[in-house]
Amino acid sequence: MKLALECRTNLLDHIQPFCDFDFILGHMVLEDDEYTAHYKESVKNKVVDNSVNEKGEPLSIAEMKEAFEKVEGTLVISPDWVGEAKKTYEIYEECVKEFGAPNVVGVLQGQTLDEVLSGLNFYQGMIAVPYDVLSEKTDPPWLMTLRRALVVAYIPQDRPVHLLGFTSLDEFDYYKNYPNITGIDTGAPVLLGLLGKDILDPLESKAEPTFNLMADKSLSQEQWVGVIRNIALLRRYIA
């Protein structure tokens, strides 16, 4: 399983060398020239996200296209709305028309397991499963772990899967025999290191987006040691 790490602009040069691919927040490309320049120069595969987790609403197709072109992206995460299957699956068709099916990653959404899994009938390429699928933002992370693992178990193993976000290290125990899970993006190892916390300890909450919680955080030597340790531990679990 490959790893991408989210971080604020001031940490890009420190964190991104530890990533297997780039996971780029679309709204940051539109708002931050330094952030954009960093990823435009990157030679890694570039997945451009719709930023629904950070902004509450996904970027429009036009905004996604602008961000995708600015960083010369590889894949794009189709716009999705948390818990809204119909709206999410309908806009996927528009996204495919704009970017081409091989370049679009569809996100599973819905209020019920049947609604979520119905996306398998619409999506043609890689499938993304968010950390909060079938959950509320205020639900405990351990419960999010179980619900996402349930969804992933129903996905045929000939369909490539990307995990949107991190819930717990325990989640990866469920995926040991799932070679179709190709990657995960998360800012958790970085944020926890900045807060002086260990990724081995269960997360207390996923109510606030990790990327947003990193705002205005500086990086001391002690914090850097914590970040590196957390990244190393995460890699051990996803290997």
Which stretches of the chain score pLDDT less than 70?
A: none
What domains appear along the chain, each with residue ranges and CATH number? 2-238 (3.20.20.105)
Predicted local distance difference test score (pLDDT) of residue 218: 87
Answer for the pair 25, 5: CB distance below 8 angstroms, yes or no.
Answer: no
Tens-place pLDDT, residues 170-182: 999 999 999 999 9
CA distance 144 to 232: 23
DSSP character at residue 163: E
Identify which of 128, 207, 194 has the alpha carbon closest to the alpha carbon of residue 167: 207
Q: Which two tokens stand for residue 83?
A: 């818990």
CA distance 110 to 170: 24
Put simply, whether the predicted model's pTM sits higher than 0.75 gets the answer: yes
Predicted local distance difference test score (pLDDT) of residue 134: 98
Predicted local distance difference test score (pLDDT) of residue 86: 96
Quickly tell me which residue has 């679990």 as its tokens.
Answer: 237
Burial (CB < 10 A; 0-12, 13-18, 19+), residue 43, is exposed
